[in-house]
Amino acid sequence: MQRLPKQFFANLVRKVNAKVATGADVINLGQGNPDQPTPDFIVKAMQEATAKPANHKYSQFRGDPELKKATAAFYKREYGVELDPEKEIAILGGSKIGLVELPFAILNPGDTMILPDPGYPDYLSGVALADVRLELMRLKEENQFLPDYDDLDAAVVQRAKLMYLNYPNNPTGATATPEFFKKTVDFAKQNQIGVVQDFAYGAIGFDGKRPVSFLQTPGAKDVGIETYTFSKSYNMAGWRIGFAAGNADMIEAINLIQDHLFVSVFPAIQKAAITALNSDQQSVRDLVALYEKRRNQFFSAARAIGWEPYPSGGSFYAWMPVPKGYTSESFADLLLEKAAVAVAPGNGFGAGGEGFVRVGLLIDEPRFTEACQRIKKLGLF
Ligand SMILES: Cc1ncc(COP(=O)(O)O)c(C=O)c1O
């Protein structure tokens, strides 16, 4: 328990709450919790499924076979990827669970795993629980926030057994290319490193560019898996449902550890998830259009005050540089204190996030334009 990382963002929430308690009208751009409701047709499917006694029983240990079939059909339809529903798909109670339990399931204490820096902080919980050795790989702006495998220390590469990627990326909004994923498969094969590509924002790509799935890369299933969540694509963050797909050995390890930890997810939620995957995906297209509109509006408002964003290609985040003379944290503190605008300091995602703050575009346009107006008054740009 003592190894578990400190929850950096719990501190941010405390600071924001303290500001709100003073009566300030805080514009909260610090969070990553989708603001839109779950689409009606999914809620209705859930209501119907909840009323059926068959769904009140224990779920099958490894999840509803129908959901696994729907997942395979979804990957085939959306990405042209073939998956064996029983051997290559594991149902997760939210993708975070899979990401945290996987190192514990497949590594031995003292093994090495590589995480991106900056990166999603919850990956660190898996490192602590598995008692593995952590190495970081820097994501640099000059490389479009993709790792450069040639930069990694040879001894680290030799030791490493597992690495995580996350595109579209939290916190930077960067997206991956098919060439990068091909390089990743080659690198992983050469060095016998398992790959986990966190595709939480897989549905959210802008400018007509659909984020590529790692599993579309030839040979990807030989080296790794992709995790996916309903939280972002279908605004189902509170429902806790996701899946992992790909390499059969890694999927078996997840299923095996889950046999001992859980009895899968409430069956009615799994039925609603089937409805979501089998739908025509219009709700997803509408949601992406909303996020793209917000991104464009926020970028315009920020540029109008001289604050130049990193040009994100996906996710619902904007990755914003801090002005000279500030750190991520001192700038975030200043914005909260003087403008009542909450943003997530980049260093909360690792040392590689220093020099940036993350803005979540999870409120409607008038509010973030107002946030930019308040920030303008500070005269920093
Ligand atoms: C990069 C990334 N991965 C995974 C998750 C976890 O998603 P969930 O556990 O809701 O599936 C999140 C949630 O914010 C995320 O930002």
Does 94 contact ligand 1 (Cβ within 6 A)?
yes
Domain-wise residue ranges, the chain: 8-38+283-377, 42-278
Residues in the chain: 381
Does 198 contact ligand 1 (Cβ within 6 A)?
yes
CA distance linking residue 170 with residue 119, whole number of Å? 7
355 falls in which pLDDT band (50, 70, 90)? very high
User: What is the pLDDT of the chain when averaged over all its residues?
Assistant: 97
Check: CB of residue 118 under 8 Å from CB of residue 346. Answer: yes
Does 34 contact ligand 1 (Cβ within 6 A)?
no
> Which amino acid does the sequence have at 107?
L
Instruction: Annotate 149-200 with three-state secondary structure.
Output: HHHCCHHHHHHEEEEEEECCCCCCCCCCCHHHHHHHHHHHHHHCCEEEEECC
For the stretch 246-282, pLDDT in tens is 999 999 999 999 999 999 999 999 999 999 999 999 9
For the stretch 372-381, pLDDT in tens is 999 999 999 9
Q: Could you give the count of Cα atoms lying within 13 Å of 60 in the half-sphere of its Cβ?
A: 13
CA distance linking residue 5 with residue 180, whole number of Å? 30
CB atoms within 10 A of CB 179: 11
Check: CB of residue 240 under 8 Å from CB of residue 207. Answer: no
Looking at residue 8, what is its pLDDT? 81
Looking at residue 6, what is its pLDDT? 87
Looking at residue 89, what is its pLDDT? 98
CA distance linking residue 106 with residue 127, whole number of Å? 12
Between the CA of 94 and the centroid of ligand 1 the distance, in Å, is: 8
Closest CA to 128 of 117, 139, 116, 113: 113
Architecture of domain 42-278 in this structure: 3-Layer(aba) Sandwich (3.40)
For the stretch 178-203, pLDDT in tens is 999 999 999 999 999 999 999 999 99
Both structure tokens of 121:
């902080």
Give the residue, out of 9, 91, 92, 122, with the most ligand 1 atoms within 8 A of its beta carbon, to mutate for a pocket test: 122
Residue nearest to atom 14 of ligand 1 (CA): 32
For the stretch 25-75, pLDDT in tens is 999 999 899 999 999 999 999 999 999 999 999 999 999 999 999 999 999
Looking at residue 9, what is its pLDDT? 84
pLDDT at 154 over 90: yes
Looking at residue 246, what is its pLDDT? 98
Q: What is the pTM of this model?
A: 0.97
Architecture of domain 8-38+283-377 in this structure: Alpha-Beta Complex (3.90)
Strand stretches in 35-159, DSSP E: 89-92, 112-117, 133-138
